[in-house]
Amino acid sequence: MTLPLPIRDPGESADQAFNVPLEPDIFDSVHGIATAQIRALTPARIFQRRSGTSLATSELLSFQLDLGRARDAVQAALQPASFLPELNRALSGRASAVLLHSAARDRREYLQRPDLGRVLDAASAGVLQQRARSIAPAVDRSSLAIVIADGLSALGVERNACPLVAALLPLLPADAWQLQPVCVVEQGRVAVGDEIGQLLRADMLLMLIGERPGLSSPDSLGAYITWKPLLGRNDAERNCISNIRAGGLVPELAAMRIAALMQEATRLQLTGVALKESSLPLEAGQ
């Protein structure tokens, strides 16, 4: 779509009011090829069309659309009725999904009280304790707790969590990994995985959580892995793989990186700053 050029007094070579000699015609339709070339160099909003010193309407609305999508993603709620069956299909019998809720009652409380998003509410803790009693201890293999939380983008979870789990499971042989019930947490933050991992007596925690939406990425998923999850673990004791989404790190490649990290973490018996992904023999995902 091409907008008409801003109308300008041809005698006006510089805008004296702010002392910048603007030339609206540098990147106009005559030089459209040049504009397209340079805009292709970065996802940043450069060489935007303008009127005077302000953005042209098309540029303004494009920004507002992306902002609206990002803000919708923050407010969106996970839909367990559709998500849980899809997750169970992705798990293909290796584990079953459990729905839990953090102590943050709603989005508003979640956004203002990060401490509440880091712990389960009483009912969920009770449910999980009951499940934990019926789990046999892992012998000769590592126990893995996968936790999926809405975080700041339920959209990121709905679009990417199941494809990621489906791609990851074949990389985790049953003779090496015992899967615990996969916990889906509403209004959850990263650290809620620690409480869950501890209750399930897991050796390894894989936390999948919706990331803070950017204007160009409302649906991004983050993966945090933590060896021996315990209440009170800090972020320096985890490893993170970020930007998992169709337009970023695709779930299939993310699964390979996560599997490689978890394998190395199990060998070293640690996660965090001492575990460097760059030292891993990765076949993909760089």
Partner 1 sequence: MKFQHTIGDITHSFSSLRELLAVATPFRSGDALAGIVARSAEHRVAAQYALADVPLNHFLSEQVVLYEIDEVTRLIVDSHDHAAFAPIASLTVGEFRDWLLSDDATSKRLAELAPGITPEMAAAVSKLMRIQDLILVARKINVVTRFRTTVGLPGRLSARLQPNHPTDAMSGIAAATLDGLLLGSGDAVIGINPVGDNPATVTGILRMLDTLRQRFEIPAQTCVLAHITTQLEALRLGAPIDLLFQSIAGTQRANSSFGIDLSLLDEACAAALALNRGAPCADGSVGTNVMYFETGQGSALSANAHLGVDGKAVDQQTLEARAYAVARRYNPMLVNTVVGFIGPEYLYDGKQITRAALEDHFCGKLLGLPMGCDVCYTNHAEADQDDMDSLLTLLGTAGVNYVMGVPGADDVMLNYQSTSFHDALYLRRVLGLRPAPEFEKWLAGDHFARLRMESRSPALLLQGVAS
Binding site residues, partner 1, CB under 8 A: 14-15, 17-23, 26, 31, 34, 37-39, 41-48, 50, 53-55, 59, 63-64, 66-67, 70-71, 73-74, 111-115, 152, 212-217
Residue 124 CB, shortest distance to partner 1, in Å, is 22
**Integer Cα distance of 192 and 73 in angstroms:** 21
Cα–Cα distance, 155 to 186 (Å, whole number): 13
Cβ proximity to partner 1: between 174 and 230 the closer is: 230
Is the Cβ of residue 111 or residue 282 nearer to partner 1 in the bound state?
111
Enumerate residues 6+ apart whose C-beta is below 8 A from 200: 128, 131, 132, 135, 143, 145, 180, 181
Say which residues have a Cβ less than 8 Å from residue 197's Cβ, sequence separation at least 6: 145, 147, 204, 205, 226, 229, 230
62 vs 142, beta carbon nearer partner 1: 62
As measured in angstroms, the least distance from the Cβ of 233 to partner 1 is 14
Residue 66 or 86 having the CB closest to partner 1: 66
Residue with Cβ nearer partner 1 (156 or 181): 156
CB 202 within 8 A of CB 271: no
CA distance 228 to 67: 38
Least gap, CB of 250 to partner 1 (angstroms): 16
d(CA 280, CA 256): 11
CB atoms within 10 A of CB 22: 16
User: Minimum Å distance from CB 126 to partner 1?
Assistant: 27
Measured from the CB of residue 214, what is the shortest distance to partner 1 in angstroms? 3
